[in-house]
Chains A and B, each alone.
Chain A
């Protein structure tokens, strides 16, 4: 059932869900939404499973023509969405009619917005996920970002009887200066005490070399003890690699599964959502936490997602 036709593709729009898990050993990245919370919230606002496939737009969003009456929700970075040129709210169920046009304004805060449709986007599952992985040509829309003229299919589902809205105090904020929790290691011992101090006390800036694979940061160089390379080993999203020039590289969701630079620290899982919303010129400061502290926050984050559907405001 075709739901949308793409009138303008936007800067970089892909189909994503919560990722492709269990295939790292074969070199297959996790992929999935750069901001899990926002994607899950968009889905819940139209009564989808939180892992349903959505569109992830980057900075300049797409323009879509609706071919079928349905419900949608838009979450993530503040992007001033419009239906037929009229402003509509984010973080809320929106009813759309056949021939409505959906467009996005300039992204004010954050970097990525999510558009969920009632029932989810119907593209083929590849290794258990609908996430697009452009480097590997994995599906989504032909393994690539959207192009003008593409069509987006949904599932045939019954219309929503109720509408939902996220309570405003639960809408995440995406400031221009982030404080991000990290756990030091695994290769923190390849850096001098001075290097570690530099890493934890400086503000780093996201450069324009930032995409779904990783972000290069600018800021004070982090000093290695001696060598700046290791025999390549495993990478996960959140890993912070420091090559010879001392400037950190943040590994994001589409990154390759192995790498040869030492990792000074790894961003905690809940904070990765925040980093996934960082656009170029955003500042990042890293704060060291213990594994125990991180796991407390992890449990709180998991509980938040688990109970999110109950906390949404509901109206007939």
Chain B
């Protein structure tokens, strides 16, 4: 039913070292699934000269080495793999949801009360709406390991802060319009912070370094503050 899916996808040059393939210009699981599937297909195909890929909401970037391939050659090879996207079994590749424990509100989620007031809800209702559904990891970006998750229930979709905070603590869980996300490290940011997870979402000394990857599903689980401390201890070990 999605009319926002480009047919066929658009192949666009991104400078002299990359190719961008756009599947649409909206946020939708259907478009993102195409991106993730093509990404996996390309990675497995080990195309000569393709160095790395960046899956995002609605497009896939392929960085290549112009000494090993040409733009036209790469487009030709990727178009050939495009038919893999139609195979139905790939639609089923959605793993079990990853659970993210979160302490909502208070000092951990300074904007929870604002989000509740903005929508004329109680804080408990906001927490329930946020933690009741599974979210898709659409992409990682902004800072190392930051997952863009969607979509939140429209009852709690909230605009960003007018003036971003200079420092949002690592683990903070925020809402920006219909997206929700988690800050992997201390960073400036304008998302409405409703809670915090003790999980470490990025570790440069692990492979892969990011805890989540695009295409996965996650679910938030409200936990009391004392459990946060226990989790934090475990994460440190």
Contacts and interface: CB of A to CB of B under 8 A. Distances in A.
A135 to B, nearest CB: 6
B57 A231 contact: yes
Contacts of A185: 12-14, 20
Contact of B16 (A22, A183, A232): A183
B146 to A, nearest CB: 6
B13 A236 contact: no
A295 B148 CA distance: 34
Interface in B117-166: 139-146, 148
Given A27-B146, A258-B139, A299-B66, A233 B61 contact: yes
Bin the interface of chain B by size. 35 or more
Interface string B197-229: 000001011001110001000000000000000
Interface stretch (B47-55, B76-84, B90-98): B47-55
Interface in A243-271: 256-258, 263, 266-269
A67 B210 CA distance: 39
A302 interface: yes
Interface string A209-243: 00000000000000000000011111010110000
B16 A25 contact: no
Interface residues of A, number: 42
Contacts of B63: 24, 236
A24 B145 CA distance: 10
Interface string B63-79: 10011001100000000
B25 interface: yes
A234 B148 contact: no
Contact of A137 (B59, B61, B142, B185): B185
Given A28-B209, A266-B14, A257 B66 contact: no
Interface of B: 12-18, 20, 22, 25-27, 51-59, 61, 63, 66-67, 70-71, 139-146, 148, 185, 187, 202, 204-205, 208-210, 214
B190 to A, nearest CB: 13
Contacts, number: 138
Given A234-B20, A236-B17, A291-B71, A136 B59 contact: no
A86 B66 CA distance: 44
B144 A27 contact: yes
A25 B14 contact: no
Contact of A236 (B18, B66, B141): B18
Interface of A: 21-28, 126-127, 135-138, 183-187, 230-234, 236, 238-239, 256-258, 263, 266-269, 291, 294-295, 297-299, 302
Given A127-B209, A234-B56, A269 B70 contact: no
A24 B52 contact: yes
A234 B54 CA distance: 6
Given A239-B15, A268-B16, A25 B55 contact: yes
B204 A126 contact: yes
B67 to A, nearest CB: 6
Nearest to B202: A26
Contacts of A187: 12
Given A234-B59, A236-B18, A302 B67 contact: yes
Nearest to A291: B71
B70 A295 contact: yes
Nearest to B54: A234
A252 to B, nearest CB: 13
B164 to A, nearest CB: 14
A170 B140 CA distance: 41
Contact of A233 (B57, B66, B143): B57
14 contacts: A21-B51, A22-B52, A26-B209, A137-B185, A183-B13, A186-B12, A186-B20, A233-B22, A233-B57, A233-B58, A236-B18, A258-B139, A291-B13, A298-B67
B27 A266 contact: no
Contacts of B17: 236, 269, 298
Contacts of B67: 298-299, 302
A23 B15 contact: no
Given A136-B185, A137-B185, A234 B61 contact: yes
A238 B15 contact: yes
A295 B69 CA distance: 10
A209 B235 CA distance: 38
A196 to B, nearest CB: 15
B16 A291 contact: yes
Contacts of A302: 67
Contacts of A257: 54, 140-142
B194 to A, nearest CB: 21
Given A236-B18, A269-B17, A26 B61 contact: no
Contacts of B25: 230-231
